[in-house]
Structure 1
Amino acid sequence: MGVIIAIIVFGLIVTVHEFGHFICAKLSGIKVLEFSVGMGPKLLQKKKGETKYSLRALPIGGYCAMEGEDSTNSDPRSFRNAKLWKRMIVLVAGAMMNFVLGFVALVIMVSVFEKNAPTTVVRDFAKIRNEDQSISYSSMSYETGLQIDDKFISIDGTKVFSDIDLVYIFDTLNPGEAHTVVVKRNGEKVTLENVVFENTENGSKYDFAIYGKKKNPLTVLKVSGDRFMTMSHVIGLSLKQLFTGNMKKDDVSGPVGVVSVISDTAEQSRNVSEAIENILYIMSLITINVGIFNLLPIPGLDGGRLLFCLIELVRRKPVKPEHEGYVHLAGMVLLFSLMIFATYNDIVRLVTGG
C-alpha cells in the first residue's frame, strides 16, 4: 500500500510540473504534440485535437513535447517561433507549479493538522518550583541572555525562518555548548554571544517554549510561507553540497529512493492522520526540490533552456538551434548518468537495508 501511495505522490509531482509547461504553452498558442505522465512504453494514449495524452509505464518523469523545441521550424506555432517572453514563461511554469503544489501541501498541513500556528518567538523558559514554593529558572538560555518575546533570526549563522528550522538546528546541538544567536528584540536585531541551550533539571536542549498563534487564514498563510522558505533554504544548502563535492555519494538518491522514502513514511506512521500529515510534509519538500533543481542553469533542464533565452535577450538574436541542441544533449547525458548512479545507490540501499 505504501508503494502505491508513493507512486501516486511522485506521479502527482511530475504531472503538476509538466502541466505548468502544458497550460502555459496552450495559452501562448504554442503547438503541444504530446503531454505524457511517466516515461518508457505507453500504457494508454488518447489524441484530442492536435495533442496526444499518454500514460507511460515508468513513473520516473514525464514530458510536454512542443513543436520545434530543438530545431528551426517553419510552423508559426512552434516553440522557437513564439515570442521570447512567452517561451520564458513556458519554461519557468513547470517549477512555479511545483512551488504552488508545495505551498498548498503546507497550507493543508498547517490548517488541518496543527493545533495552532507555531512561531519562532520565545514564550517562556524552563522553571523549577523550589521547596519554599518560589520559582527559579532551570533554563541556561535564559541565564545566558535570551529573553521572552525574542524572535530567532539565526543560530550560529544558520537562518531561522520557521519552527522547523529550530527542529533541524537543535537536532545537531549538544547540551552545554555555547552558540551565537541573533534575535529580533523590541524591533531591533540583537546578537547574543555564548548562549547555552540546556535545561539544568533534566539535561534537555529544549529549555524554552515558543508562541503558538490562534489559527486564522493569515496566520496559516504566514506559517506555511515560513516553512516554504525553510525547505527552500535546506534544499539550497543540499544542492550546494552536491555541486561542491561535500555531499557523500551514498546520500545521493533518485526516483527509486524518493518512492522508498514516501512509502516508508506512510507505513511507519501510527495512524491515518499522522500518515497524511507526514506524506504532505515529504511531498512539499520533494516538489519544492524538483522546482528549484529544474531552475538551475544546467543544460537539459528548464533552467538551462532559460539561460539560452537570457543569452538571446542580451544578444538580440537566438543561439543556433544545433549549437544549443549539442549543449542540452551533453547536459542530458550527464543528468542521466547522475540518475543511473542515484538509482544504483537506491537499489543497493533497498537490498542491504542501509
Structure 2
Amino acid sequence: MQHIVTLLIAIVIFGMIIGIHEFGHFIVAKLHKIQVNQFAIGMGPRILHFQKGETEYSLRLFPIGGFCSMEGEDESSDNPNAFEKKAIWRRMTVVLAGAIMNIILGFLLIAVLLCTSQKVPSTVIAQFAQTTDATTGETITAAESERSGLQVGDKIIAIDGSHIFSTTDLIYKLQTTDAKSFSVTVKRDGEKITIDPVTFHNDNTEGLLDFAVQGKSKNPVTVLSYAAKDTVATAKLIWMSLIELVSGKYSLQDLSGPVGTVSVIEQAASTGENVLERVQSVLNLTIFITVNVGVFNLLPIPGLDGSRFVFLLIEAVRRKPIPKEREAMVHFIGMAALFLLMILVTVQDVSRFFQ
C-alpha cells in the first residue's frame, strides 16, 4: 500500500513540474498569438485528449515529459501565426518561459512551506551549542566557531567568498566541503568584517553545525523575501552541483533518474513524526526537483530550451536564422544523447533497487 501511495505522490509531483513547464511555453505562446497545435502532459500513447480551437490537449501514459508543439517551430510554415514568423524577442520569451515557470513554482512552494513553519529562518546567529564543564559544572560553549571569533547576532554574509543567501546556502557550504577552516564575512553592528580562520565543530554532536539561527516573525514581506533568497540559493546549489559533476567530483553513479527519484520521494514521505513534517519533507524535495528542472533546461545543451535560446541569439547576431534542418539535427542528437543517459541512469536505479 505504501508503494502505491508513493507512486501516486510521484506521479502528482512529476505531472505538476512537467505541466507547469509546458504551460509556461503554452501561455506565453498564446499571449504572442502563436498557433499551438498540441499541448501534452506525459509521453507515449494518449490516455485522454480533446480538441479546443486550434490546439489538441492530451494526457499521455508515461509521466516523464511533455511537449508544447507550435506551428512553424521545427518546420517552415506560411501561417502568419507560426512561431518562426514572430519577432526574435517574442520567440526568446516563449523558449525561456518553461524553465522560468519551474523556478517560479519553486519560489511559490518555498513560500507555502514557510507559511507552515512557526518562524522564517535567517542567517543571523541566535545561539551557539553549549555544554557543561565536567570539573566546575559551569555552562560553556561547545561551538568551535564561537571560539574562533563568531558572536551571537552576527549575520553571515559569505563563506570563502561565496555569498550566503539562506540556510540552504549555509548548510550546503558546510556539508559539502573538505576544508577544515573557512573565511567568514559577517555583518556585526552595521559593519562588514571578515574573520579568518573560522572552524565549525559542535563538541556535542561532532558535526559542523555548532550554532542555531534566528527566526523572524511571519508576514508577507519576510516570507516572500526569504522565499526569493532561498530560490536563488537552491538554483545556485544545483549550478554548483553541475559544475562539480563536470569537474569529476561526482560520477554517473551519483545520478538518479525517475526510478531513483521515486525512491527518494518514498523516503521523504516517511520522514517526520507527523503528517505536517512529512508534507514539509515532500515539499522540500519537490522544490529541489522543479528548480533543478528549470536550471538544467537553461543550459545550452542541444535539445534543451537553453540550446534553442542560443540558436535565437545566433539568429539575432547574423540577422538570419540557421537552416531548420541543421538546427533540427543538432537538437535530435542532443535529445538522443539525453535519452541514452536517462536509460543508463534508470538501469542503474533499477539495479540499486534489486540490490
Task: Tell me, yes or no, if structure 1 residue 8 matches structure 2 residue 12.
Answer: yes
The alpha carbon displacement at 1:323 in A equals 1.6
Task: Tell me, yes or no, if structure 1 residue 117 matches structure 2 residue 115.
Answer: no
The alpha carbon displacement at 1:166 in A equals 2.8
Structure 2 contact 303–332 (Cα < 8 Å) conserved: yes
Structure 1 contact 7–259 (Cα < 8 Å) conserved: no
Task: Tell me, yes or no, if structure 1 residue 248 matches structure 2 residue 256.
Answer: no
SS in 2 for 1:348: helix
SS in 1 for 2:153: coil
Instruction: Show CA shifts across 1:202-260 (max 9, x none).
Output: 75544333211111111111221222122111100111123334321111222222233
Structure 2 contact 181–199 (Cα < 8 Å) conserved: yes
What are the within-5 Å matches in structure 2 for residues 336-347 of structure 1?
336-347=339-350
Q: Which of 38, 46, 52 in structure 1 is aligned with 2:50?
A: 46
**Counterpart in 1 of 2:84?**
80
Q: Which of 21, 24, 29 in structure 1 is aligned with 2:25?
A: 21
Cα RMSD, aligned residues only: 2.3
The alpha carbon displacement at 1:132 in A equals 8.1
Q: Structure 1 residues 340 and 211, CA, compared in 2 at 3 Å: closer, same or farther?
A: same
SS in 2 for 1:167: helix
Task: Tell me, yes or no, if structure 1 residue 313 matches structure 2 residue 311.
Answer: no
Instruction: Show CA shifts across 1:250-301 (max 9, x none).
Output: 1122222223322331134433211211111111110000011111111111
Q: Structure 1 residues 184 and 340, CA, compared in 2 at 3 Å: closer, same or farther?
A: same
Structure 1 contact 2–264 (Cα < 8 Å) conserved: no
In structure 1, give the amino acid aligned to 2:32. Answer: S
Q: Which of 332, 335, 339 in structure 1 is aligned with 2:335?
A: 332
The CA distance in 1 between the partners of 2:303 and 2:97, in whole Å, is 16
In structure 2, give the amino acid aligned to 1:60. Answer: I
**Counterpart in 2 of 1:207?**
210
The CA distance in 1 between the partners of 2:246 and 2:206, in whole Å, is 38
Task: Tell me, yes or no, if structure 1 residue 140 matches structure 2 residue 144.
Answer: yes
The CA distance in 2 between the partners of 1:41 and 1:201, in whole Å, is 56
In structure 1, give the amino acid aligned to 2:22. Answer: E
In structure 2, give the amino acid aligned to 1:190. Answer: I
**Counterpart in 1 of 2:269?**
266
Task: Tell me, yes or no, if structure 1 residue 155 matches structure 2 residue 159.
Answer: yes
Stretches of structure 2 that go unaligned for 5 or more consecutive residues are none
What are the within-5 Å matches in structure 2 for residues 185-224 of structure 1?
185-200=188-203, 203=206, 205-224=208-227
Which structure exhibits the higher relative contact order, with contacts defined as CA atoms closer than 8 Å and separated by 6 or more residues? 1
The alpha carbon displacement at 1:134 in A equals 6.8
Stretches of structure 1 that go unaligned for 5 or more consecutive residues are none
The CA distance in 2 between the partners of 1:173 and 1:66, in whole Å, is 45
Structure 1 contact 6–260 (Cα < 8 Å) conserved: no
Structure 2 contact 271–277 (Cα < 8 Å) conserved: no
Instruction: Show CA shifts across 1:96-135 (max 9, x none).
Output: 11011111110000111x1111111112334567798976
Give the TM-score normalised by the residue count of structure 2: 0.91
In structure 1, give the amino acid aligned to 2:99. Answer: A
**Counterpart in 1 of 2:67?**
63
SS in 2 for 1:198: coil
**Counterpart in 1 of 2:289?**
286
Structure 1 contact 116–214 (Cα < 8 Å) conserved: yes
Structure 1 contact 3–260 (Cα < 8 Å) conserved: no
Single out whichever of 157-166 and 195-204 deviates more from structure 2: 195-204
Instruction: Show CA shifts across 1:58-87 (max 9, x none).
Output: 010000011111121111111111111111
The CA distance in 1 between the partners of 2:266 and 2:322, in whole Å, is 44
In structure 2, give the amino acid aligned to 1:168. Answer: Y
**Counterpart in 1 of 2:110?**
106
